[in-house]
Amino acid sequence: MLEHFFQCLYCFEEISMLIDPSVASQKYIEDCEICCNPIEVQITIEENELVSFEAKSIEH
């Protein structure tokens, strides 16, 4: 597993997500561990390395 840190789009706190490097392309929704708002995450992995990470807020 890879741990990636980034700033929440809602509460602006630094949070982390665990990423499975065995899946090359991932898109899913995960809640912020601080404020619980949903974040859409899009990830690209190449050779077990994170090459692209995008987080988007989800309109309520």
Where are the domains positioned within the chain? 2-57
Query: Do residues 38 and 17 touch, judged by C-beta distance below 8 A?
Result: no
10-32: per-residue pLDDT in tens? 999 999 999 999 999 999 999 99
The single-letter code of the amino acid at 48 is N
Question: Measured in Å, how far apart are the chain's first and last C-alpha atoms?
Answer: 30
pLDDT band at residue 59 under the 50/70/90 scheme:
confident
- Which pLDDT does position 60 carry in this prediction? 60
Report which of 6, 4, 1 is spatially closest to residue 51, judged by C-alpha positions. Answer: 4
pTM: 0.85
